[in-house]
Amino acid sequence: AGGLAVTLVDIDPVRIAQIAADGLRASVAGEALCSHVPCVAPDALDGGQDLIVLFTKFAALRPALAQACHALAPDGIVAVLANGLDAAGQLDGLVPAERLVIGVTDVAADLRNGIAHSDGSGVVKLGMADPASSARPCGRVAAWLERAGFAVTQQADIRTAVWEKVAFNAGFNALATLADACVRDLDNEPGRRIVGSVLDEVAAVAKIAGVPFDLGSVRARVDAAFALQGGHRPSMAQDRRAGRRTEIEAINGAVAACAQRLGMAAPINLTLTDLVLLTGG
């Protein structure tokens, strides 16, 4: 990764052994890649790490950092790239906000037969958990990711990117889960109608929450996903297929809960949350 020393951390001994034996295998824009990156359990991670990137499901963020943070250098940075509202709240007390970078990404990845498939398109948006603190940690993480080949933008107020990404996921993921669908299966009148209504509702909640939100750009990103990521199965639908718990509570459920705290209703997000919970969690 751009000459950077990277160690993967995993909790599944079988997967750690597989990655040691076969390497980390991916297919990016049709090109087969295999990288022999070290992969260890959290307690075997060497100390002095400059950066820990959390890329687990939302509910695993706190345990993942609790298990790995012994290895963080004294001025080390933690970056989160999970979907969902308020990742910083999940990590409360584990890392100071001035060393916590919050990110979102629309780089899509599908795990099939042990190989991560991605078309390679998409951007990582990064910002400080505490917008009042120095942006230097954010700049360092952005530079490292850029060296590794990612397109990165830095945000003065990451809340906007987080809410816009949650809107995108609230629109696609729950529906794809309920319909056991890829993005292209939702590219029809009912699919676009439901996705559009979810976006409108999230935008209304963000507005009352005081978060700047550009509905036009989220709609444009939805159109781009229909055009470019048709074969992608949204991560929540991948979880449902694999029999794993979904992130519905951190996405549509978090929007509905926020609306309730603000004294407003978000019936579409609440109903999608209930439907996903009713059909398997």
Ligand X SMILES: CC(C)(CO)C(=O)C(=O)O
Ligand Y SMILES: NC(=O)C1=CN([C@@H]2O[C@H](COP(=O)(O)OP(=O)(O)OC[C@H]3O[C@@H](n4cnc5c(N)ncnc54)[C@H](OP(=O)(O)O)[C@@H]3O)[C@@H](O)[C@H]2O)C=CC1
Q: Which of residues 93-112 bind ligand Y (CB under 6 A)?
A: 105, 108-109, 111
Tell me the Ramachandran region of residue 77: left when phi exceeds 0, alpha when psi lies from -120 to 50, beta otherwise: beta
8 A C-beta contact, residue 104 and residue 162: yes
8 A C-beta contact, residue 229 and residue 219: no
By CB under 6 A, tell whether 235 contacts ligand X: yes
Q: How far apart are CA 111 and CA 12, in angstroms?
A: 16
Q: How far apart are CA 193 and CA 144, in angstroms?
A: 39
Number of shown-chain residues binding ligand X (CB under 6 A): 10
Q: How far apart are CA 198 and CA 268, in angstroms?
A: 6
The residue within the footprint of ligand Y, chosen from 2, 47, 63, 281 (CB under 6 A), is 63
By CB under 6 A, tell whether 55 contacts ligand Y: yes
By CB under 6 A, tell whether 19 contacts ligand Y: no
Q: Which residues contact 221 (CB under 8 A, 6 or more apart)?
A: 106, 164, 168
Q: How far apart are CA 86 and CA 97, in angstroms?
A: 12
Of 107 and 264, the one with the shorter C-beta distance to ligand Y is: 107
User: In sequence order, what E strands does 36-98 have?
Assistant: 39-40, 49-54, 72-80
The residue within the footprint of ligand X, chosen from 49, 155, 169, 269 (CB under 6 A), is 169
Stretch that binds ligand X, among 35-43, 90-98, 196-204, 228-236 (CB under 6 A): 228-236
By CB under 6 A, tell whether 106 contacts ligand X: yes
By CB under 6 A, tell whether 249 contacts ligand X: no
Stretch that binds ligand Y, among 10-18, 146-154, 193-201, 213-221 (CB under 6 A): 10-18
By CB under 6 A, tell whether 219 contacts ligand X: no
By CB under 6 A, tell whether 218 contacts ligand X: no
By CB under 6 A, tell whether 150 contacts ligand Y: no
Of 99 and 232, the one with the shorter C-beta distance to ligand Y is: 232
Q: How far apart are CA 162 and CA 144, in angstroms?
A: 21
Q: Which of residues 109-128 bind ligand Y (CB under 6 A)?
A: 109, 111
Helix axes 189-209, 267-278, angle to 10 degrees: 120
8 A C-beta contact, residue 26 and residue 116: yes
* Chosen from ligand X, ligand Y, none, partner binding at 172 (C-beta under 5 to 8 Å by type): ligand X
By CB under 6 A, tell whether 233 contacts ligand Y: no
The residue within the footprint of ligand X, chosen from 58, 144, 172, 213 (CB under 6 A), is 172
8 A C-beta contact, residue 79 and residue 53: yes
The residue within the footprint of ligand Y, chosen from 6, 24, 53, 60 (CB under 6 A), is 60
Residues contributing to the site for ligand Y (CB under 6 A) = 9-12, 42, 55-58, 60, 63-64, 67, 81-83, 105, 108-109, 111, 235, 247
